[in-house]
Every structure is written in C-alpha cells, then in structure tokens.
Amino acid sequence: MWRDAALVAGRDLRIEGRSRVAISQVGPFALLVLVLFAFALDPERGVLERATAGLFWVAVLLSAMLTLGRSAALDEADGVRDGLRLSGLDPGGIFLGKALAVAAQLLALEVVLAAGVIILYDAEPTGIALLVATCLSATAAVAATGTLYGALVSGLRVRETLLPLLVLPALAPVLIGATRAFESALGGVPAEGWPWCGLLAGFAVFYSLAGALAYGALLEGS
C-alpha cells in the first residue's frame, strides 16, 4: 500500500512540477490574500499582529481549496480514473498518495506564507517545535479531509463550487486548533498549544482512515 502511495504521490507531484501551477499561481495567490487582509484590517493599530495566527491559517485554507481542486481534477480527464481502477493499485494507497502530494504542496506553501507573515505582519516565532508540529499535523488533516471530499465531488460539473461548501465546515475544527496552537507559539505560552496539536493529529488520523477505507468505493462508483 505504501509503495502504491509513493507511486501516486510521485505522479501528482511530477505533474505539478511540470505545470508549475502551484509555484506560479497558488503561491502568489496565498501572498495576495495576506496583502488583502492588510487592506481589510487596519495594519497600523496592531490588529494584524494580534490576528496573525488566524489569518495565516485562513490563507492556507483558501489556497488549499485551489490545490485540492487541482488534485481532484487530475483524475478527471483522459479516463485516468478507469486507468487507476485497472492498474491494480490499492485504493487506500491511491488515497494516501494523493493526500501526500497535496500535503507536500501545502507544506511548501506554508513556508512561503510563514516568510510572508514574518515580513509583512512582523510576527515573532518563539515556540519553533510547536509551530512545526502544528504545521505538520494541520497539513495532514487538511490534505486527508480535502482529498476525501475531492473524490466525493470529482467529475461533477459543480465540483469547483461544491468542494469548498463541503470541506470548509468540516475543516472548521482544524482552523480552530491550528490557530490556537499558533497563538500559543507566537508570543503565548507554548505549553497551551500542544493539546490543540494533539487534536489536529487525531483529526488527521480519523480522516486518513476514513479516506483510505472509502476511496475504493468512490473510485468504483464513478
């Protein structure tokens, strides 16, 4: 299963690497969101500094919608789904591979966004370990949930509008948990952030299991 996952993740990442959409469009979009927040909230009064953690994760979620949409669209064209079904790859492996590819892209995006908030919002990271752990667990949660819901709406004409409606409410706990953990890491008490990090990890495990179990049925019923 893990070998299958590595194969599928390699395929998705290779396609992204060649099309360069993640680098040339999704990354700039995420930075643009950071700048738009500065227009919306008065940057002179320290609002941005106080809201940095939340704004960072909202920017990640909005950009993740684009990445997830692309990940789901990869399998729509040219009978890729039928190819995957005929390939004999383990459906759980396919799911994990797609989720891993999304997670890798999101992690790269988060590095860019982190540089963005440090430069633009004057954020001062203190609890580095907590920041890294939160990024890893929250990204795994977003990638697993998004890949499962992406498969639910893949191939539908309304995919682009339906995906955010289904995913964002389900990801509300991730936004809450990641924001609280980041707040404790950015000038708060890092010890308070770790339980939230645990919640994110549990969420990621739940959706990874659900996705790996459900993906076979979703692949067949398309």
Partner 1 sequence: MTAIAPDPTGPGRSAAASGPGAAGAGPATTGSPGSRALGIAALAAVALATLYGLALSPADVEMGDLVRLMYVHVPSATACYLGCFITTAASGLWLWKRTPGWDVLAGAGAELGLLFVVITLVTGSLWGRPTWGTYWTWDARLTSTALLAVLLVGYLALRRLDLDPDARSARVPILGLLLMPNVFIVSRSVEWWRSLHQRATITTLHPQIEGDLMVALMTGFLAVTLVFAWLLLHRFRVGWLEYQAQRLDLDQALDARRSEAGAGASRPTGDEEVAK
Query: Footprint of partner 1 on this chain (CB under 8 A)?
Result: 152-153, 155-156, 158, 162, 165-166, 169-170, 172-173, 176-177, 180, 199, 203, 206, 210, 214, 217-218, 220-222
User: Toward partner 1, which CB reaches closer, 23 or 175?
Assistant: 175
Place of tokens 């399998």: 75
User: Toward partner 1, which CB reaches closer, 27 or 92?
Assistant: 92
User: Toward partner 1, which CB reaches closer, 81 or 105?
Assistant: 81
The nearest distance, CB 150 to partner 1, in angstroms, is 11
The nearest distance, CB 126 to partner 1, in angstroms, is 19
The nearest distance, CB 152 to partner 1, in angstroms, is 5
Q: What DSSP assignment string belongs to 77-105?
A: GGGHHHHHHHHT--HHHHHHHHHHHHHHH
* Structure tokens given for 183: 């707040």
Distance from C-alpha of 110 to C-alpha of 125, rounded to nearest angstrom: 14
Q: Identify the CA nearest to 51 among candidates 122, 110, 131.
A: 122
The nearest distance, CB 222 to partner 1, in angstroms, is 6
Helix (H) or strand (E) segment spanning residue 44: none
Q: Identify the CA nearest to 1 among candidates 208, 145, 152, 151.
A: 208
User: Toward partner 1, which CB reaches closer, 119 or 217?
Assistant: 217
Within 8 A by CB and 6+ apart from 20, the residues are none
User: Toward partner 1, which CB reaches closer, 29 or 206?
Assistant: 206
User: Toward partner 1, which CB reaches closer, 27 or 182?
Assistant: 182
The nearest distance, CB 214 to partner 1, in angstroms, is 5
> Crossing angle of helices 128-153/159-170, nearest 10°?
140
Distance from C-alpha of 173 to C-alpha of 3, rounded to nearest angstrom: 31
* Structure tokens given for 151: 């498969």
The nearest distance, CB 116 to partner 1, in angstroms, is 25
